[in-house]
Structure 1
Amino acid sequence: MPTELEELVGFIAHPNPQIRKVATENLVPYSTEQPSIFKTEELLPVKHLKFLIRDHPDIAEHALTILVNLTADRSVLEFVATDDRFLGFLLTNLVDPEEQNANLLAMLLANLAKWDDLKSIATRKQDAPAALKSNDLVLNQILDLFVKGADGTYNKKADFDYLSYVIADLSKHPEIRKFFLTEQDYDHVVPINKIKVFTEHKSDIRRKGVASTIKNVAFDVPAHTSFLDEDQINILPYLLLPIIGGEEYDDEDTMGMLPDLQLLPPDKQRDSDPNIIQTHVETLTLLTTTREGRDLMRKINVYPVVRETHLRVNDEGVQEACERLVQVLMRDEAEEPGAVVEEVEDDEETKIVPV
């Protein structure tokens, strides 16, 4: 005999929409507390949930919430991420300016991006809504949605912050890194230049995902000249501003710094998240891979900024990252520069824990 809970799971496929709504709403807590109930009959409940994102927005909201939580499980993640038809529906609805559950779709896509084969999205195309003013490449649509949709400016129901986790995980793959560094024909913008401004933003999700994306793309050493060039990517101000506070520097240190760092107010706050600070410092370390990068960082007095960050941020990861960077900057060029940092996957799987 099936238990009451098993019967409730069965009701998510009921022909009566009111029953589906009650069932999905009541099952949300169990997607974190007892996820095994959704893994019966070769994941049949998950199959039903995938179909329900096409349902009434209220039912779709609960179904998506459950799917976001369940895709923290590797077997469910694979089952969902390998469904190309489902992925197509998700991406089409994501860019719809009237989609009521766009943020949940972005959260689910953030989890699916942890499936390595999702890198195939690099060549995926679909029609773009006129309001988005993008082209037919899905990656461009995701980036344009992330930029134009911040703070509910494209879809009043969504801020699309979780797309930062999508691009962060995708940027682990060389073909996606190449995309971020390639000027796009339809708007003549290099994609990484669209996101760098979000290293300072009120959303810690946005800042964290963008920081990780920039770091991953910086593993492309031949692109470092573009990263450092003021007329191209010019990434250094966007890495240094989040890690500098309102502390005072002596005139000699200040005069050599980038102009953006010279006239900061005394109440300037560095990023509140030590993990983000660590990521930025590690990106700076990556950019010392070339002699050009090391010489430029010495010229613009990066060392005093890193010294103060090490002194004022009480976090072991930040302090170790600062020490590695300082060792490179202070080392005699006759020595081997060294400096090893690792690619990052942004955040753990997204979960929505019911209150």
Structure 2
Amino acid sequence: MPTELEELVGFIANPNPQIRLVAIENLVPYSSAQPSIFKTNQLTPVKHLKFLVRDHPKIAAHALTILINLTADRDVLENVATDDKFLGIVLANVTDPAEPNANLLSMLLANLVKWDALKEIVTRKQDKPATLGSDDLVLNQLMDLFVKGADGSYNKHADFDYLAYVFADLTKHAEIRQFFVTRQDHDGVIPFNKIKVFTEHKSDVRRKGVASTIKNVAFDIPCHPSFLAEDEINILPYILLPITGNEPYDEDDMMDMLPDLQLLPPEKQRDSDNSIVQTHVETLTILTTTREGRDLMRRIKVYPIIRETHLRVEDDGVREACERLVNVLMADEEEATVGARVEEATDDERIVEV
């Protein structure tokens, strides 16, 4: 005999929309507390939930919330992420400027891309929305959604912050990293340059996802000259500013720092999320892999900034990351070369899970 909960799960397929709404609304808490009830009959409830994403917006919102929670389970993740038709629906709906559940769709995508086979999204195309101004490449559409979402100029219902987590997880794949550093034909812009400006955004989710994306893309060592060049990606100001506070520096050190870091206002604070600070420091260490990167960081006085970060951030992860970077910057060049290479080769955190 089915339990009351199992009977309730069955009602999400009821032809009466009012019954569907009541049933799915009451089931949301169980998607975290008792997810197994959705895995019966070879995941039939999951199949129904995927169908309900196209239902009335209120029903769709609950269905998406449940799917977001359930895709923490490997079996459910595989079922949903390998359903190409459903993925097409999610991608089409998230780019709809009138979609009321665009943020929930972004959150679901952030889970789905943990399925490694979804790296194929790098070549996936779909019709471009007339109002987005992108091309037909899905990644370009997601990137432009993310940019426009920062000020709510595309969809009044969505900020698309969780797309930062999508980018962070996708960039564990080499082909996705290549996309981020390749100038796009439709607008002549390198995608990396679109996201770097959000390292000091008010949204914790956006900052964290962007920091993780930058770190993952930095593992593309041949692109380091472009990362460091002022007339190309010029990533250092966007990494250093979030980890810099309002501490006073020696005048000689200050004059050698990047212009963006000189004479900061008294109210300037480093990022309040220690995990983000740690990620940025780890990215700096990755960028010391090349002699050019090490020389540049020494020349623009990165060491004093890291010294103050180590002193003022009471977090073991941050301090350990600072110590690793300082060991490279302060060593003689032969030792620094070895240190940088070991860091790149043995870093267990190169794939960022968010």
Provide the residue aligned with 1:61 in structure 2: 61
**Which whole-Å CA distance do the structure 1 matches of 2:225 and 2:276 have between them?**
24
Report the AA paired with residue 338 of structure 1: G
**Which whole-Å CA distance do the structure 2 matches of 1:99 and 1:343 have between them?**
34
Provide the residue aligned with 1:352 in structure 2: none
- Residue 206 of structure 1 and its aligned partner are, at CA, apart by 0.2
Note the alpha carbon deviations across 1:57-108, whole angstroms, 9 max, x for none: 0110010000000001111001100000000000000000000100000000
Note the alpha carbon deviations across 1:287-310, whole angstroms, 9 max, x for none: 000000000000000000000000
**Which whole-Å CA distance do the structure 2 matches of 1:15 and 1:246 have between them?**
61
Residue pairs, 1:27-176, within 5 angstroms? 27-176=27-176
**Which whole-Å CA distance do the structure 2 matches of 1:173 and 1:237 have between them?**
25
Paired positions, count: 347
Alignment counterpart, residue 353 of structure 2, candidates 316, 329, 346? 346
Aligned 8 A contact 1:151 1:158 in 2: no
Structure 2 unmatched ranges of 5 or more = none
Does the residue aligned with 1:201 lie in a helix, a strand or coil?
A: coil
Does the residue aligned with 2:285 lie in a helix, a strand or coil?
A: helix
- Residue 26 of structure 1 and its aligned partner are, at CA, apart by 0.4
Residue pairs, 1:292-303, within 5 angstroms? 292-303=292-303
TM-score (norm 2): 0.97
Does the residue aligned with 1:36 lie in a helix, a strand or coil?
A: helix
- Residue 152 of structure 1 and its aligned partner are, at CA, apart by 2.1
Identity level (%): 76
Structure 1 unmatched ranges of 5 or more = 348-355
CA RMSD of aligned residues (A): 0.8
Does the residue aligned with 2:232 lie in a helix, a strand or coil?
A: coil
**Which whole-Å CA distance do the structure 2 matches of 1:266 and 1:150 have between them?**
26
- Residue 266 of structure 1 and its aligned partner are, at CA, apart by 1.4
**Which whole-Å CA distance do the structure 1 matches of 2:351 and 2:255 have between them?**
34
- Residue 4 of structure 1 and its aligned partner are, at CA, apart by 1.1
Residue pairs, 1:126-275, within 5 angstroms? 126-275=126-275
Report the AA paired with residue 334 of structure 1: E
**Which whole-Å CA distance do the structure 2 matches of 1:323 and 1:149 have between them?**
37
TM-score (norm 1): 0.97
Does the residue aligned with 1:322 lie in a helix, a strand or coil?
A: helix
Report the AA paired with residue 206 of structure 1: R
- Residue 344 of structure 1 and its aligned partner are, at CA, apart by 2.9
Note the alpha carbon deviations across 1:124-156, whole angstroms, 9 max, x for none: 000111111000000000000000122422100
**Which whole-Å CA distance do the structure 2 matches of 1:9 and 1:288 have between them?**
54
**Which whole-Å CA distance do the structure 2 matches of 1:249 and 1:110 have between them?**
40
**Which whole-Å CA distance do the structure 1 matches of 2:137 and 2:233 have between them?**
22
